[in-house]
Amino acid sequence: MTTKPGHTEASVVINAPMDLVWDMTNDVASWPDLFTEYAAAEVLEQDENTVRFRLTMHPDPQGNTWSWVSERVVDRQARTVVARRIEKGWFEEMDIRWTYHDVDGGVRMDWVQDFRMRPDSPVSLAQMTQRISTNSPVQMAAIKEKIEKAAVG
């Protein structure tokens, strides 16, 4: 993946087995229960390794609802997921790479996001970089809590 002008990285260690972390974080249809930011996730197409889906966020403080179509290609053996936006909205490009690693204390999940904003976007590159950099740890903490709760039954 080529680094774009907008770039963020975030990681979290989840105290749960790899299979549980992988299965829960790659069940796109359940993302509104896993993430706090999504109001809806609609799977449009799916095969063994690829899922195309529409995500809709909860309204932002200004009442705007962001929605887009993305595609995720999963490689369970390599423990990687590569995603890109198909309907880009205010982005010119948005690519996300998820990686999973067994570590002491559980599974480290890393997100690397590379993106460009459209020139007519109401959000600048710096603003979106800050927004993603702030929100990714919040989402990762919510995911960690829910998966760790599921791991203990």
Q: Which residues contact 30 (CB under 8 A, 6 or more apart)?
A: 24, 41
The domain locations on the chain are 6-151
Terminal CA-CA length for the chain? 37
Q: Give me the CATH code for the 6-151 domain, please.
A: 3.30.530.20
> pTM value?
0.92
What is the tens place of the pLDDT at every residue in 42-91?
A: 999 999 999 999 999 998 888 878 899 999 999 999 999 999 999 988 89
- Cα 86 vs. chain centroid, distance in angstroms? 14
Inform me whether the pLDDT recorded for 1 exceeds 90: no
Which amino acid, 39? Answer: A
Inform me whether the pLDDT recorded for 130 exceeds 60: yes
What is the tens place of the pLDDT at every residue in 93-110?
A: 999 999 999 999 999 999
> Average of pLDDT values for 138-147?
98
What is the tens place of the pLDDT at every residue in 23-46?
A: 999 999 999 999 999 999 999 999
